[in-house]
Structure formats: C-alpha cells, structure tokens
Amino acid sequence: MGLARTLSVTLSGVSGYLVEIEADLSAGLPGLTFTGLPDTSVTEARDRVRAAVLNSGFSWPSHRITVALLPADLRKNGSMFDLALALSVLSAAGVVPQPKILGSAWLGELGLDGRLRAVRGILASVLAAQAADVRTITVPSGNAAEAALVTGIEVHAASSLREVVLALRGEGPQLRLAEVGERAAPSPPPDLSDVVGQPVARRALEVAAAGAHHLLLSGSPGAGKTMLAARLPGILPGLSDQHALEVTAIHSVAGALPSGVGLLRRPPLQNPHHTSSTAALVGGGSNLARPGAATLAHRGVLVLDEAAEFAPKVLDSLREPLESGRITLRRIGGAVEYPARFQLVLATNPCGCGSARDTDCRCTPDARRRYQQRLSGPLMDRIDLQIPIDPVTRADLMDEHRQGEDSPTVAARVVRARAAARARWSARGWHTNAEIPGPLLRQRPWRPSPKVLAPLDRELETGSLSARGCDRVLRLAWTLADLAGQDAPGLAELNEAIWLRTGRRAVVTR
C-alpha cells in the first residue's frame, strides 16, 4: 500500500495548467480508477500505461489503484499524462523513489512497448511549468529541441519509460539535457519587386504593414491581388522574443510546427481555401474546440483569396476577432479562448464572371451588386484600406527596365514607421496604430486641428463614413504621418487616408 504524487501539465487552448497527479494503492479488487474530470484520452491510458510498464520489465501492482488529477474542477485532456501517471503508480508501489519525482513535471505519451512518443503543445506546456516555478521537466526525445527553446527551467529528454525509471533508481545513465537542435534556414519570402506596376496597391500594402491595418484588394483577374497579398509578410517586422514564443506555442498546440526551425521569427501567413468552413477558419470540433486559421495567423497575416466566394456566414465569423483579437469557443467539453490578432487581407473580383475588362463583363448590374454584397457591410466597415486595382497595362508588363522597389527597401520604411508608433503608444500598452481606441484619437492631444479634420467632417455629415470608419481613417492618418516622418497627421495625410478608405478622393502627393 502506498501513496505517491508528481506533476504534469494540461492544455486549455494555448494556455497550460499545472496538474498534480496522486496515485493511491489500497486493498481491494485490482483496477485503476480516475477522478478529476479526465476525458476519454486520459481514461484510455489505464490499459496503455499498464502495458508499457509490463513491457518495460516492471511489475504492475495487484491492488486497487486510485489516480486523482488535481485540481479536480479542471478538465484534463490529451495523452501527455502517460509518463507522469506511470511514475506515480510505480512510486506508490515502491519501484521508484518518491523524492526523485517530487517537484518535477513529466510529459509524454507511452506506447505499448514503453517508448515515449512526442506530443502536441510541448512548448506551451513547458512555459506553463516554468511559470509555476517547476524546477525540472522531462519530455520525449522527439520534443526535446522544441522544449529546449524555453529558458529558466531544466529540460531533460528520454526515449522510453525504462530509461526514465532506471535513471531515477540510479541503475542507469542520467537523463540527458535537452538541446536546441540545428535550425534550418527559412526559405525567403516572395519579393515585392515581382509585382508589375500597381503603384497605388503597393502604397496601400506599405501603409497596411506600417500600421497593422486590414486591407481589401478588389479588381479584375490577373491584376496582381494574390501576388500583393502573399508579399505582405515579407515587409512586416520580425517577431519579438515574446511574440515568437507565443506564435510558436500556438503552432505547437495545433500540430503545425515545422521541424527544425526553432522559434518562428517571421509573421505567419495563412491562406485558407474559399470552401473552408467556419470551424476551419475560427476553430471548432467536438468536445473541446481546436484552433483555426485565424489563430494560426496570430501576429501574422490571414489572406482570404477569392473572398466573395466564401460563405457569407464564414466571413462574418471574423467580425468579433477583428475587433477583440481573441476567439472564444464553447463546446460540450468546455470553453476555450484562442488569440487571433491578425492582419486580414481580402482579395476579390468585382463580379462572378471573372472578365479581365469591365467592357467584357457578362454580369447584369444586379448580379454584380449581389456578388459584391457577399462581403457584408459590418465586415467591410472593419477593413481599414479598400483599394480598387486596375488591370496591368502593356507598358508596365513589357518594360524590362521598369521594376518596383524590393521588399527589403519597403520593409525598412515599415520598421521606422512602426518604431515611431511604438514610441508614441508603448507607455499605454499598444504597439501599432491599428490597436488604438477611436475615443483616444478624438481627444487632445491626439485630435487633429479643425482645419485638418474638415474633410473628415464632410464625410461624416454626408453619411459616407460611419463612426467606426471615422476612427479607422484617423488611425490610417497617423500611420501615414509615421511613414512621412511627421509628429502628427496633416491635411495631406487625412485626405490620403480618406481616399485609401473610400476611394472618393484623389491621393495627395508630396
């Protein structure tokens, strides 16, 4: 008879929570009983862990075994409890010294032969253990390089249950320390110099990158909408250490983390197909919802090509995360919250026939209007820049000497503009102009002068802009001022912001 305890981690969304695992051996009919809200993947561990212990050369206790997963009111899911469960049972049976497993966390799925198999979400789990002041943690060898990305905690790697038990009993070599593996060089992003012509769209792309604004590109097929959207991540600044850990943890939880790349330092790009469901876009699934493309695009870019071909209810599911930067999903297994602070890029044709020229369009005016109305008004009101794109001219396409700026040149201006915004707003906890609440921009000292605001007042009086649209124009104006190296937006920046938002004013050039 005995009692033993150790630690593991459970995940809810991308957040990890420390779980204490207690195993009690008592008289009674042999069997294993769980308490503490385990899901099916946890309760199935009883046969898996028993086989792993026996096939590793150890005896399974012939007692009544009760395993408590604490705190009892937190739902536990996943197979990463296997190793901690096996060690707690073996420790209660006297096979493993109890002091050796106290204060440490153990993660990993066990095969029937005792092998430790890699699991999803290891980075988020190690971060949770570190935050809870756990001294050491042991993970499967397949997760070692990922777990070693976290500093401030001693990470060990093991390949089997037998290796762990022998090391704890002093009968085998000590568990090796996990090390960050060789990092494969990421492939270079597509370059903006590949885009022919389209000076207005290129300007809009630069403004979107500088202020983290959402963007709509509307124009005929072959005008370069998809090319422009795919090149937005290449002119965005790299991720900070904190954001890189956050993004890498999300991809680890989703099982989408590429092997051998270390921390994801580049803003991610997600480009779901237009037949995607709501669950694929914002997350879903039975029992406990999994992250969707919007969460995988966190701190990066979500491109919806052929946007008008998406189901309207799928597009409208993005309205809340565009405002809050978070997605909360409730299922029978509980509620889960995922971060979703992304830049949205919509690319669409003006009508369904896809003619390269308006003169060749076979759609009736009603058909064109219905096609464009698939992008709902509330969704469009949340898009900062709405840019019409004209077909590429023959002169631009055939001129071998005419080439636009490359991505590094544009990215340098974007970095300077973002640095200016960060210096202005960081004391309040914001980093980009797109995050600033509208009421703040309408107050002193951030409110422009009446002369500068005169064009915006006219748009509001005529109903051409909503209150939300007004706020987004002000944010755009601040981004344009940052790109121009000015301390505040002037009349030229406000006029250009209105044009980029509505297309109803000529761009004011310098």
**Per-residue pLDDT tens over the stretch 6-62:** 999 999 888 999 999 999 999 889 999 999 989 888 999 999 999 999 999 999 999
CB distance 45 to 12 below 8 Å: no
Identify the pLDDT of residue 1. Answer: 67
CB distance 350 to 307 below 8 Å: no
What's at 10, amino acid-wise? T
Give the chain's mean pLDDT.
90
pLDDT class of 508 with cuts at 50, 70, 90: very low
Which residues does 285 contact at the CB level (< 8 Å), separation at least 6? 279, 331
Pairing of strands 15-26, 64-70: antiparallel
**Per-residue pLDDT tens over the stretch 227-255:** 999 999 999 999 999 999 999 999 999 98
pLDDT class of 402 with cuts at 50, 70, 90: low
| Sign, Cα dihedral of 288, 255, 43, 10 | negative
Q: Indicate whether 83 pLDDT > 90.
A: yes
Q: Indicate whether 505 pLDDT > 80.
A: no
pLDDT class of 5 with cuts at 50, 70, 90: very high
Pure H helices in 102-143: 122-131
Domain spans in the chain, listed from the N-terminal domain onward:
2-177, 196-402
Identify the pLDDT of residue 506. Answer: 39
Q: What is the mean pLDDT of residues 340-363?
A: 85
- Residues in a beta bridge with 180: none
Q: What is the mean pLDDT of residues 383-392?
A: 89
Reply yes or no on domain 2-177 having CATH 1.10.3720.10.
no
From the options 3.40.1190.20, 3.30.200.20, 3.40.50.300, 1.20.1250.20, give the CATH code of 196-402.
Answer: 3.40.50.300
Which residues does 91 contact at the CB level (< 8 Å), separation at least 6? 2, 4, 6, 23, 97, 98, 100, 101
* Beta-strand runs (E) in 172-292: 176-177, 215-219, 269-270
Q: Indicate whether 400 pLDDT > 70.
A: no
Structure tokens at 396: 């631009």
Identify the pLDDT of residue 184. Answer: 62
Pure H helices in 240-344: 241-253, 278-282, 293-296, 312-316, 319-324
Please state whether the predicted TM-score (pTM) of the whole model is above 0.85: yes
